[in-house]
Structure 1
Amino acid sequence: MKSSRLLSILMLLHTRGRMTAAELAGELEVSVRTVYRDVESLHAAGVPLYGDAGHRGGYRMLAGQRFRLTDLCEREAEALVLAGLPVAADELGLGGDFADAVLKLRAALPTPLREHVDRLRARFHIDAAGWYAEETEAPFLSQVSDAVRTGRVLAVRYRRWREPSEVDRRLEPYGLVLKAGRWYLVAGPGPRTYRVDQILDATVTEDEARIPEGFDLAAHWRASQADFHARLHQGDALVRISPRGAARLTGPAARALAENGTPDTDGWTRATLPVESPEHAHDFLLALGTEVEVLAPEDLRERIATTVRTLTGRYA
């Protein structure tokens, strides 16, 4: 919408200073001609917006002008409130700053929007941790966070799964990610991902970290997660599953059932499900009990049959 685009132009100029029409067009994903028309509209509305010609020219706002939040629409105000994760702010030592920022944001909103946001905050609560995840302490999260914010190299002692189990590393922090209640550090060289709760000691050095030009933390995380899942599920199991068993499937298994499942004659569904390994497939499918039958591969079917015979003998 044009009104939203005009507001975006003002916000960009307020936060970045002088910008050319081409730079604005790139940010807003519109043509330069559209930017020219939008600037004309702002001029007609009396907005103190100026254009400088020449190689170092561009548009800028009059010095001393303050941008106010009175032009936020209802959905934009909702998004700002729902985007806040106070638990994460607390863990990073920013709980007080987060609360102050929310108060300032609330005070800047016009009365109708402020009342609407207050009602919204009373009806939504975000809990990012999983139900069965153990609480993990990350005693050096503060130091890691400081290194990320200041762009400094971290000297850490890290616990890993293979020998030697404790190693010393000099890490160039690229960013922090909170995933299902657990903090991860993405750092160079690599980049590689480190669990912050596995850091046994950490010191923020005076050395400046070098982040690769154009590195996008969110894009890197999405790509690494996709690669992880692709490598995780390297096998398949052909099964027959009851409606009750199908309702208990989640994640990739549920998606596979929806994509390739075919109805069987007795109301069950025949489908090929992705599995991580023979051991994982055995435990995962055995947990569904009598609600599933493994048809292939034969070694998995025999492995489950052996377990069932053992249980039958134990409980007979």
Structure 2
Amino acid sequence: MRASRLLSLLLLLQTRGRMTAPELAEELEVSVRTVYRDVESLSVAGVPVYADRGPAGGYQLLDGYRTRLTGLTGDEAESLFLAGIPGPAAAELGLGSVLAAAQLKLMAALPPELRSRAGRIRERFHLDAPGWFREVERPDHLATVADAVWNQQRVEVRYQAWGKPEATRLLEPYGLILKTGVWYVAARADGHFRSYRVSRMRAVATLESRFERDQDFDLAAYWDTWSEQYRARLYHSEALVRLSPLARDLVPYYLGPFAARAVRETAGPPDEQGWVQVTLPIESPTHARMEFFRFGPDLEVLQPSELRELMVRSAAEVTRLYAGG
């Protein structure tokens, strides 16, 4: 623990230049007295750290003393900071302090010109993973599952799938996926790969037994295939509808990415008022009625007839409700 703190102190001085003892204490979350002892230890070890006294004083390293990370181009240094997972996501995985330490070490090792370019990346780009108007999930067992993924340990979970009772399952967790603020784990169970929503895990127990990963497993390719299969299972029907210009703009927000893609791929030419006919994927007429009613008079269902009749009846019931009030 102390060795790690000494390294962090060294890298802070290398990255930021002169720092006071209180500033170092705050960064390292230790007392000022501990900083004094650590600086003395670095000096004894041969690290050229010295102190300037006075109001503008502080600790700093002798000019020219630094560790170096060789072989990185400017673009490579920038990409390392673009490739990091979002800060909140790292915290949920229990990696917040680890990620911060890694970035600090990288910044300290870069030559000044590359350090400046990498720093600009953090100032100018920020990844906000969750979609609009969606509450971010913070699963209770995410850190435990992430640890099992990393250490290739089996887990026993009590899982509650949508509309089903809880069931106990033995999983070999291969990887985690963050999809618009929702965490999933790709795991092998009974010899087959499946995806599980981490927030639906009511309990997780890490087992002592480890598993050997299938070397041919590709997490990104698996997720792409699973996503398409999930879409096919979920949206096994279609509806022909007319959309006003306003409704067309609202489809991505009200109905999601699959419906937005369907609009792009199936929209016919607009009429004189700008309305277009499109074919949208739906789960069922009942579910589609609830989804489509959000558009009010800016969406008209043409087919199937069952769904159109549901919309007509629902509109009549709403009219009676308000007329009676």
Q: Which bracket does the TM-score occupy, shorter chain normalised? A: 0.7 to 0.9
Cα separation, 2, equivalents of 1:158 and 1:298: 38
1:207 equivalent in structure 2: 209
Q: 1:92 to 1:256 in 2, by over 3 A?
A: closer
**How much is the aligned-residue C-alpha RMSD, in angstroms?**
2.1
Q: In 2, are the aligned partners of 1:172 and 1:210 still within 8 Å (CA)?
A: no
Cα separation, 2, equivalents of 1:135 and 1:120: 25
Q: Deviations over 1:107-165 (max 9, x none)?
A: 222212211221221222222123333343422222222211111111222233355x2
Correspondence 1:259 to 2:265: yes
Q: In 1, are the aligned partners of 2:137 and 2:183 still within 8 Å (CA)?
A: no
TM-fit CA distance, 1:70: 4.5
Superposed, which structure 2 residues align to 1:250-289 within 5 Å?
250=252, 251-262=257-268, 263-289=270-296
Cα separation, 2, equivalents of 1:75 and 1:255: 33
Q: 1:191 to 1:101 in 2, by over 3 A?
A: same
Q: In 1, are the aligned partners of 2:68 and 2:111 still within 8 Å (CA)?
A: no
2:95 equivalent in structure 1: 94
Indicate the SS of the match to 2:317: helix
Indicate the SS of the match to 1:88: helix
1:176 equivalent in structure 2: 176
2:80 equivalent in structure 1: 80
1:299 to 297, 306, 312: 306
Q: In 2, are the aligned partners of 1:286 and 1:304 still within 8 Å (CA)?
A: yes
Q: In 2, are the aligned partners of 1:173 and 1:209 still within 8 Å (CA)?
A: no
Indicate the SS of the match to 2:246: helix
Cα separation, 1, equivalents of 2:136 and 2:261: 29
Cα separation, 2, equivalents of 1:206 and 1:282: 49
Q: Deviations over 1:54-74 (max 9, x none)?
A: xxxxxxxxxxxxx96444333
Cα separation, 1, equivalents of 2:199 and 2:244: 40
2:235 equivalent in structure 1: 233
2:315 equivalent in structure 1: 308
- TM-score normalised by structure 2 residue count: 0.70
Q: In 2, are the aligned partners of 1:138 and 1:196 still within 8 Å (CA)?
A: yes
2:151 equivalent in structure 1: 150
What amino acid sits opposite 2:116 in the alignment?
A: E
Cα separation, 2, equivalents of 1:204 and 1:93: 16
TM-fit CA distance, 1:306: 0.8
Indicate the SS of the match to 1:305: helix
What amino acid sits opposite 2:279 in the alignment?
A: T
Cα separation, 1, equivalents of 2:101 and 2:224: 31
Q: In 2, are the aligned partners of 1:264 and 1:270 still within 8 Å (CA)?
A: no
1:129 equivalent in structure 2: 130
Q: In 2, are the aligned partners of 1:261 and 1:269 still within 8 Å (CA)?
A: yes
Cα separation, 2, equivalents of 1:129 and 1:121: 19
Indicate the SS of the match to 1:133: coil
Cα separation, 2, equivalents of 1:68 and 1:279: 63
Which 5+ residue runs of structure 2 have no aligned equivalent?
Answer: 1-66
Cα separation, 1, equivalents of 2:282 and 2:182: 25
Deviates further, 84-93 or 298-307: 84-93
What amino acid sits opposite 1:152 in the alignment?
A: Q
What percentage of residue pairs aligned between the two structures are identical? Answer: 44
